[in-house]
Chain A
């Protein structure tokens, strides 16, 4: 019931947003294509690196100031590179930009597969992409090898840093709340405990217990951890400056790992009925059983895959919309040459960005809820006890 309502609400929301966001996206697309085509042609040229220095890790405001500098990279278009800016903000980075030219260097832990050697150093060695170090360079905020050899980046990147920060915040919050439960045993909740108890109880009762049934206690720690981890990462992502701004839950690697955990929770806890329903569906003609087995087997993977894509796309989408709206100011302002255009852009962008931020605040909760809810639902299906055969009427 709740789920269908949410689905309906989200789809209405999506249509509404898509309609007024479409225009700036179409505008941005043309220029973006142009630029990226060039970028692929000359991935290692000097101008590319120069652009990195100007563009990487800048906040939206900082971009405004730097765009004059960028323009000499693309003298023929002289336009604001919307796509590059947005992609840069969505992507992970090996340093954490704070303000202006100041960035927090992050540790780089690199393993070169071709040469078989480990490298550990701070990303400040690159001097914002100006220099190379031990055969590595900083391209669009990410570490690359100069010679193009194969390597794995185990660095504490912006996203890893934010996840560590989120974990720290969660530990501080929940240890204090757990302490409050111990200290005020049997008493009514108070303060932070009172603020979080409805959420904890909601996940326990309405998500875990409602979907999983009597065995819910075993899965509540996982569901609560997933919910609050996604929520805090979503919320940190909405803060436009340090220590937020990292697009953690809009990163496919992060959502991949979370969905793999859900996949493992489902399939490691699946009972005999669950596997029977996948490989030999009861109550069907024998000829249909192998066909359904194939479909159900694919279903094992599509369920967590959908979880991965949903969270990734929703959070990335929100970031793209907000960044696109901010870009309106610079597109209309024609890189600062048209003051009236910029004013018009501000008049349009500021209310829309404000509106989008409020929506994103809701989406932060909604997506955390949906991921947790669907995880609980799938786990519930896997551990469900089937008493009657007529229950298989699907």
Chain B
């Protein structure tokens, strides 16, 4: 300040020519830089920040989708596991069922076989009995023939003979 006062007021007196040139130069500079530099730069900066925002949002979305996918996968795996357990259980049950049925069948078969065998035995027995009966019948007839062929004199002879024959028969 001391310097300014002591020297002259030239320093704080705006020069008209310089005002003119400064105005002109600044206006041109403002126009040129604004039009050809700061506007495109501003647009580029805005676009870039928008694209960065976009990219971030998309990454977030992708991450969400990924976690969704992972959850899905997990669910599917769990379901598959359950399915497996179920299938195994069913298979086991079926096996047991089959075995049980087989056993049953076998038992039934055996029972049937036994029954059949018994029937056969019964049949054979019956046949044998019939045979025996037939044989007895025949023998009786034969005996009767024989008896009839002998002249039985006395009743005692008669009785003796019958007893004898019965004895024979019994021996058979």
B38 CB, min distance to chain A CBs, angstroms: 4
CB-CB under 8 A from A164, the residues of chain B are: 25
| CB-based contact A186/B48 at 8 Å | yes
Residue of B nearest to A90 (CB): B11
Decide if A186 touches B47 in the complex (CB within 8 Å). yes
Q: How many residues of A contact B (CB 8 A)?
A: 60
Assuming A167-B29, A201-B45, is B6 touching A156 (CB within 8 A)? no
Q: At the interface, yes or no: A355 with Cβ under 8 Å from chain B? A: no
The verdict on B18 contacting chain A, using a C-beta distance below 8 Å, is yes
A87 touches B8 (CB 8 A): yes
**CB contact list, A55-104 vs B, under 8 A:** 83-84, 86-87, 90-92
CB closest chain-B residue, reference A40: B8
In the complex where A29-B6, A167-B28, A170-B29 touch, is A153 in contact with B15 (Cβ < 8 A)? Answer: yes
**A260 proximity list for chain B (CB < 8 A):** 23
Tell me the bound Cα distance from A229 to B28 in angstroms.
12
Q: Which residues of A contact B137 (CB under 8 A)?
A: none
Scoring B21, B36, B47 by chain A CB atoms within 10 A of each residue's CB, the highest score goes to B21
Residues A182 and B29 in contact in the complex (CB < 8 Å), given A36-B7, A83-B3, A156-B21: no
In angstroms, Cα B6 to Cα A167, docked, is 34
A86 to B29, CA, bound (A): 30
- Against A, the Cβ 8 Å flags (1 = close, 0 = not) of B36-47 are 111111101101
Residues in chain A near residue B32, CB distance under 8 A? 167, 171
Contact indicator B33/A174 (Cβ below 8 Å): yes
Q: Which residues of B contact A109 (CB under 8 A)?
A: 17
The answer to whether B2 has its CB under 8 Å from any CB of chain A is yes
CB of B25 within 8 A of CB of A225, answer: no
Chain B residues with CB below 8 A from A373, complex form:
none
Which residues of the other chain, A, contact B13 by a CB distance below 8 angstroms? 252
Nearest CB to that of A187 among chain B residues? B48
Check: B161 CB closer than 8 A to any chain A CB. Answer: no
Interface string of A146-164 (1 = CB under 8 A from B): 0000001111110110011
Q: A350-369: which have CB < 8 Å to B? A: none
Flag if B6 contacts A36 (CB, 8 Å).
yes
What CA separation (Å) do A187 and B2 show in the bound complex? 55
CB under 8 Å from chain B, chain A span 237-268: 251-254, 256-258, 260-261
Whether A160 and B25, one on each chain, are in contact in the complex, defined by CB atoms closer than 8 angstroms, is: yes
User: Are B18 and A220 in touch, CB under 8 angstroms?
Assistant: no
Complex Cα–Cα for A252 and B29 (A): 20
Q: Complex Cα distance A117/B11, Å?
A: 27
A275 within 8 Å of B (CB atoms): no
Residues of B within 8 A of A217 (CB): 42
Contact of A253 among B18, B38, B44 (CB under 8 A): B18
Q: Please pick, from B7, B21, B36, B42, the residue contacting A87 in the complex, using a CB distance under 8 A.
A: B7
**In this assembly, does A25 line the interface, its C-beta being within 8 Å of a C-beta of chain B?**
yes
Cβ–Cβ < 8 Å partners of A175 in chain B = 36-37
A287 to chain B, nearest CB (A): 39
Q: When the two chains form their complex, are residues B8 and A174 in contact, meaning their CB atoms are under 8 A apart?
A: no
Nearest-Cβ distance from residue A150 to partner chain B, whole angstroms: 11
**CA separation between A185 and B8, bound complex, in Å?**
55
Smallest CB gap from B19: residue in A: A253
Which residues of chain B have C-beta atoms less than 8 A from A316's C-beta? 11
Nearest B-chain residue to A254, judged by Cβ: B22
Residue A379 lies at the interface, judged by CB distance under 8 Å to chain B: no
CA distance A178 to B38 in the complex (A): 7
Contact B14 A224 (CB under 8 A): no
Q: Which of A33, A171, A204, A258 contacts B45 (CB 8 A)?
A: A204
Contacts of B44 in A (CB 8 A): 181-182, 185
- Whether A170 lies near B33 (C-beta < 8 A) is yes
In the assembled complex, the Cα of A41 lies from the Cα of B29 at a distance in Å of 43
Whether B8 contacts A253 by the Cβ 8 Å rule is no
A152 with B25: CB separation less than 8 A = no
Supply 6 further A-B pairs (C-beta < 8 A) apart from A181-B44, A204-B42.
Answer: A29-B2, A220-B38, A225-B26, A252-B14, A254-B18, A258-B22
Q: Could you list some 22 contacts between A and B, CB below 8 A?
A: A33-B6, A40-B8, A86-B3, A91-B11, A153-B17, A157-B17, A160-B17, A160-B22, A163-B22, A170-B29, A174-B37, A181-B41, A181-B44, A181-B45, A221-B33, A225-B26, A228-B33, A253-B18, A256-B14, A257-B26, A260-B23, A261-B26
List the 3 closest A-B pairs by CB distance, nearest first: A221-B34, A174-B37, A181-B44
Residue numbers of A with Cβ under 8 A of B are 25, 28-29, 32-33, 36, 40, 83-84, 86-87, 90-92, 109, 152-157, 159-160, 163-164, 167, 170-171, 174-175, 177-178, 181-182, 185-186, 197, 200-201, 204, 217, 220-222, 224-225, 228-229, 251-254, 256-258, 260-261, 312, 316, 320
